[in-house]
Amino acid sequence: MQMAKKFIFITGGVVSSLGKGLLSASIGMLLENQGMKVAMLKFDPYLNVDPGTMNPFQHGEVYVTDDGAETDLDLGHYYRFTSSPLSKVSNTTSGKIYDTIISRERRGDYLGNTVQVIPHVTDEIKAAIVAGSEQEKGIDVVLVEIGGTVGDIESQPFMEAIRQFRLEHPKDCINIHLSYVPYLKAAGEVKTKPTQHSVQALRSIGIFPDLILCRSESPLGLAVREKISLFCSVPKECVLELIDLKETIYELPLHLTDQNLDKLLCSLLNLSCKKGNLTDWKKLVEKIKHPKQTLKLGLVGKYITHQDAYKSVCEALYHAGAVCETKVDIHGIESGQLEKNLSLDGCDGYLVPGGFGERGWEGKIAIAKLCREKKIPYFGICLGMQVMVVEFARNVLKLNKANSTEMDPDTPNPIISLLTEQEQIKNLGGTMRLGAYPCHLKSSSKAHAAYGETKISERHRHRYEFNNTYKKRCEENGLLITGTYSKEDLCEIVEMANHPWMVGVQFHPEFKSKLTAPHPLFVAFVQAMLKEKKGG
């Protein structure tokens, strides 16, 4: 007989940005290490239907799934730490819930009843939990991370829904609360009061945490944990610490198993506990902590001051670095500044990630020119590929006004442009080529050498495409098209001939890189930088 599905709800208190996403991902990983099949869900209380239209300065990266959902960046953590299915049902926002309810109300589906937060909104949230648990066969444990902080007005329906859910499945749910325990320098001690208050806030709405994780700068000590246990009514062995990990976030699951979190989870959920095996993971963490060499990588974008805007790109670089026993020092270069002053600080290679809009565009073109001329490794992702193509058209094909129609709709040489069938699109939300597309690789290309196969699948998020009118001229002059989506003859990969490694991809490989399975293109890029650094 299959055991009943188990549900873990993860809430946060005191302040945001405590690392709830990473904690959830690590818990998922520890459960998989116990032989469980997990599904990870993220509920975001904001009113946007999805984060697709949100400014990266406010929201960080938009993570795209195979089925084309534009989701919260925490799903990237889930991908990197677990094998959870990730799809449209994995990320639910208040906007999405209300959108469904209001459309239903307009159709008259509620048969004249008053539509209310309880039960209609909470029912819809509970239905989303169930949908997440049924997206694949054999899911044992569903982890539901609730975005925001307890006490926020907008998260209340989600809190209420998880309270009801536990009432309906009393034996199969647990609540984990992540709190913050600050160190007050003036008093010379850590303070537990904010944690006490956030647990009180939770309990006042009927949610009683089973485990409390305390984020703090340094270890808490038994006395502090006992105090939290007493005031928050949680056994002291269920008060754990989550200290700042200075070297790598990939140490988090190890830090948690050291405190027996896996055993505690199994006992709270009534699951039999196995020994588990984290040996391979530990080896990788050691590689990250003890690199043999360092590379300096220039990341050229307009959101570099926001640490989460290029999250998956940075993680993919660290993964590739780990396998090559190399520390990849990421050096953010603000593309807008580059337009005024091309000071480059001598990086071993440059990566131009995805992006939208004109600001910083010419600065990125300048970087591509420098990399092409000086034969410095260059990796262009999505917009970064378009940059590479436009630079080539202007400076090699001598079409000096060539551009993407995103930047100049009237360019005489629209080498990057919208597909005709897309030209009527007016709304900004949900109008892009999104999600996984197959790509065929040309044998003996750099991409083929990296992947080691000719058929791959990668995820997209863009509107503009390479314009095939220019294909022949590009190839004749040294810009090779080495990957295509054959069904619609769309260019997916370009490579510079006679260059150590200058590759642009229209898709986002960073979404599919893990520490245990670094993405082949990122590995090839890091290897190329190492080779060039050692003198080619």
Active site residues: 382, 508, 510
Q: What's the CA gap between 401 and 421, in Å, rounded?
A: 25
Per CB under 6 A, the segment of 13-21, 79-87, 131-139, 350-358 that binds ligand GLN is 350-358
Minimum Å distance from CB 498 to ligand GLN? 26
Backbone angles phi, psi at 247, to 5 degrees: -90, -50
Amino acid at 460: H
Stretch that binds ligand GLN, among 107-115, 208-216, 314-322, 348-356 (CB under 6 A): 348-356
Shortest distance, CB of residue 356 to ligand GLN, whole angstroms? Answer: 4
Known binding residue 18? Answer is yes
Token readout for 327 is: 């520390």
From the list 329, 334, 328, 330, the residue with the least C-alpha distance to 304 is: 334
DSSP single-letter state for residue 249: G
From the CB of 410, what's the least distance to ligand GLN, in Å? Answer: 18
Dihedrals φ, ψ of 284, to 5°?
A: -65, -40
- My answer on whether omega of the bond before 119 falls inside 30° of 0, hence cis, is yes
* Out of 144, 178, 382, 503, the residue judged to bind ligand GLN by CB under 6 A: 382
74 or 510: whose CB is closer to ligand GLN?
510
Beta bridge partners of 404: 416
48 burial level (CB within 10 Å; 0-12, 13-18, 19+): middle
The footprint of ligand GLN on residues 444-463 (CB under 6 A) is 461-463
Length of the chain: 536
CA torsion 321-325-326-327 (nearest 10°) is 80
- In whole angstroms, the minimum distance from the beta carbon of 357 to ligand GLN comes to 7
> Of 32 and 70, which has the nearer Cβ to ligand GLN?
70
Q: Is 329 helix (H, G, I), strand (E, B) or coil?
A: strand
Cβ contact 214:23 at 8 Å: no
Contact 175, 210 (CB under 8 A): yes
DSSP 8-state class, residue 136: S
Q: How many residues bind ligand GLN (CB under 6 A)?
A: 10
Q: What is the closest distance, in whole angstroms, from the C-beta atom of residue 177 to ligand GLN in the complex? A: 36
- For residues 1-40, which are near ligand GLN according to CB under 6 A? none
Name which of 69 and 324 has its Cβ closer to ligand GLN: 69
Residues within window 401-420 making contact with ligand GLN, judged by CB under 6 A: 406
Cβ closer to ligand GLN: 52 or 332?
52
Instruction: State the minimum distance, in angstroms, from the CB of residue 383 to ligand GLN.
Output: 4
* Tokens read off for 117: 């937060």
Taking CB under 6 A as the criterion, the residue among 356, 407, 408, 475 binding ligand GLN is 356
Q: Tokens for 184?
A: 């007050």
406 is in an annotated binding site: yes
Say whether residue 355 binds ligand GLN (CB under 6 A): yes
Instruction: Please enumerate, by residue number, every residue annotated as part of a binding site for CTP.
Output: 16, 152-154, 191-196, 227
Instruction: Please enumerate, by residue number, every residue annotated as part of a binding site.
Output: 16-22, 74, 145, 152-154, 191-196, 227, 245, 355, 383-386, 406, 463
**Site of interaction with ligand GLN (CB under 6 A):** 354-356, 382-383, 406, 461-464
